[in-house]
Amino acid sequence: MEELIREAASIVYASRMTIALTGAGVSVESGIPDFRSAGGLWSRFDPAEYATIDAFRSNPEKVWDMLKEMEALVIKARPNKAHRGMGELEKMGFLHAIITQNVDNLHQAGGSKNVIEYHGNSSTLSCLGCGKRYRADEKREGEFPPRCECRQILKPDVVFFGEAIPPEPMNRSFQLASMAQALLVVGTSAVVSPANTIPGLAKRSGARIIEINKERTHLTSSLTDVFLQGEAGEVIETLVLEVKRLAGTGDTPA
């Protein structure tokens, strides 16, 4: 593992454009289970009934029963060593953007500024009727489910099944992937479209792929150059230390 960490750190250190693709696995150590895991929300709430835009439009009260449970997890969650480590890499100039499938705002809380959110962010709510937007925390202590001043039930600014990924983050992510010299794949099996196209695009454009996951994925034997197996927080922490060691003995990339 030490040799693999050194190899990964060397790739990151030498790269002039490094991006990360992250998924649910990066937030598990913060207390947010993967929705698809045994203890995840989908084990208790059928996504066809609770997580589609049609379900929300037809019965928002029912959907908010699930959203309330999700919100309780997110409120308590704090950035872990993976989030903070990636924030530190960005601050040092070794990580240029994060493309995340998560909606928990933990990358930003961990210090990352250039975060591209495929599925939106649960920290704000919007009215599908009049378009007014609110911070989630300002509606937390009021009536449930939260309502707009026009009395329509508010929707979290997350992408439900049946909704399109916003074109701006998708186009920006494709642009970055085509420019990347290194891609960190962290806590995701990269099977959900369109995020699953990012590793292949980056690889075809010449990027080296560093995969950090607890288990092997379809990427491991097909696209991955360096597979670092383990908890995201521990692996990222060790990787950052090695990049710092290299940065202390060489020039920082332009």
**How deeply is 74 buried, as exposed, middle or buried, from its count of CB atoms within 10 A (0-12, 13-18, 19+)?**
buried
> Alpha-carbon torsion 118, 32, 187, 56, what sign?
negative
Whether the CB-CB separation of 38 and 253 falls below 8 Å is answered with no
- Which of 83, 96, 107, 119 is catalytic? The answer is 119
Whether the CB-CB separation of 199 and 185 falls below 8 Å is answered with yes
Other Cβ atoms within 10 Å of 31 Cβ, number: 12
**How deeply is 78 buried, as exposed, middle or buried, from its count of CB atoms within 10 A (0-12, 13-18, 19+)?**
exposed
Whether the CB-CB separation of 84 and 106 falls below 8 Å is answered with no
Catalytic site residue 119?
A: yes
Q: What residues are annotated to the active site?
A: 119
